[in-house]
Amino acid sequence: MIEINGLSKTYKGTGRKALDSLCLTVNDGEIFGFLGPNGAGKSTAIKCITGILSFEEGSVKIGGVSMSDDPVGAKKRIGYVPDEHLLYEGLTGRQYIDFISDIYGVSRARRAELTDKYASDFGLKDRLDETISDYSHGMKQKIAVIAALVHEPEVFILDEPMLGLDPKSAYVLKKTMRDYADSGKTVFFSSHILEVVEKICDRVAIIDGGKLIAVCDMQELKEKRSDLSLEQLFLTLTGGEDAFKTEEV
C-alpha cells in the first residue's frame, strides 16, 4: 500500500511547486495508473515516493512505514523501475541482478528461481551473461524490471515502463504487472499510453501542474460512462479538449 498525504515539492531555484499538496492512496492488489501532461509532476512524485527526492511538506508511507521516519524500512518495500536506465553497464545482466539480490538479502536459491522465471518470460535467458552495455534499450528495461522484482517488494513502481518495448515484451510486462497485483501486491506506474492504462488499471489518477485533478475507477467509468473514453476524460480534465475536437473532425 502507498499512502501519500499533502505532498509538496519545490525544486531549488524554480520558485514553483512541482507538487502541490498531493494526496493519494494506492491499495494492495491493485494496478494504479498515474497520468498527466508532460511536466505535470509524475516523475517528481514517483521520486518522492521512492525516497530519491526529499520534499518540504507532507508524508509518504509504504506498507505503513514512513519514508521520512524510516527511509531504509520504507525503501526495502519498494521495487522501482525509473524512466531512464540507471544500471551498472559494466556488469552482465546476471551479475547486476546478483548485486541487487545481495543488497536486499535475497537467498541464492530464490534469486536463481526468480531470475530464471522472469528472464524466460522476457526472452532474455540466453543473454543474461552478456555485458549490459551491449544490451538494446528494451533489454536494459527488462533487466531493470527483473532487478526491481527479485526481492519481491510489497510495492512495484514504474515510470513510463512501456517506452521502447516491442509488442510482445510490452504484453509480458503488462501480464507481469497484473500477476503481481493479483498476488496481493501494489503496482503503481506512470504512462502516456492511454490504451494500456485503460486496459490494465483498476484505478487511475490524473495530475496537472503538480495537483491531483481526478481519481477514477476504471470499472465504474466503463459501466457508468461507456460513452466516455479515458482519452476524452484526460483531454477534458487537462484542458486539451479542443485538440481532441480538432483531431475528430
Ligand X SMILES: Nc1ncnc2c1ncn2[C@@H]1O[C@H](COP(=O)(O)OP(=O)(O)OP(=O)(O)O)[C@@H](O)[C@H]1O
Q: What are phi and psi of 210, to 5 degrees?
A: 80, 0
Task: Please choose which of ligand X, Mg ion, none residue 18 contacts, taking the beta carbon within 5 to 8 angstroms, the exact cut-off set by kind.
Answer: ligand X
Q: How far is the CB of 118 from Mg ion (least distance, A)?
A: 25
Measured CA distances, 223 to 27, 47, 216, 235 (Å): 21, 34, 12, 20
**In the complex with Mg ion, which residue's Cβ is closer, 42 or 94?**
42
11 binds, options ligand X, Mg ion, none, Cβ within 5 to 8 A by partner type: ligand X
Residue 171 interacts, among Mg ion, ligand X, none and using kind-specific CB cut-offs from 5 to 8 Å, with none
Of 96 and 189, nearer to Mg ion (C-beta) is 189
- Of ligand X, Mg ion, none, which one does residue 64 interact with (CB within 5 to 8 Å by kind)? none
CB of residue 82 vs ligand X: minimum separation in angstroms?
11
Smaller CB separation from Mg ion, 6 or 39: 39
Give the whole-angstrom CA distance, residue 215 versus residue 24: 9
Task: Please list every residue from 9 through 68 that binds Mg ion, using CB under 5 A.
Answer: 42-43
Strand, helix or coil at 129?
coil
Shortest gap between Cβ of 93 and ligand X (angstroms)? 26
CB of 3 to Mg ion, least distance (A): 22
Q: Which of Mg ion, ligand X, none does residue 246 bind to, with CB < 5 to 8 Å depending on kind?
A: none
Nearby residues of 15 by Cβ (< 8 Å), 6 or more positions away: none
Q: Which is nearer to ligand X, 38 or 226 (CB)?
A: 38
- Tell me whether residue 150 or residue 162 sits nearer to Mg ion (CB atom): 162
Shortest distance, position 163 Cβ to Mg ion, whole Å: 10
CB atoms within 10 A of CB 172: 18
Which segments of 27-110 are extended strands (E)?
A: 31-35, 57-62, 65-66, 78-81
Residue 36 and residue 45 in contact, taking contact as beta carbons nearer than 8 Å: no
For position 191 contacting Mg ion by CB under 5 A, the verdict is no
Torsion, Cα 56 62 68 70, to 10 degrees, reads -170
DSSP string of 93-121, one letter each residue = HHHHHHHHHHHHT--HHHHHHHHHHHHHH
Binding site for ligand X (CB under 6 A): 11, 14, 18, 36, 38-44
Give the residue among 231, 202, 234 at the shortest CA–CA distance from 219: 202
Nearest distance from C-beta of residue 11 to ligand X, angstroms: 3
Binding site for Mg ion (CB under 5 A): 42-43
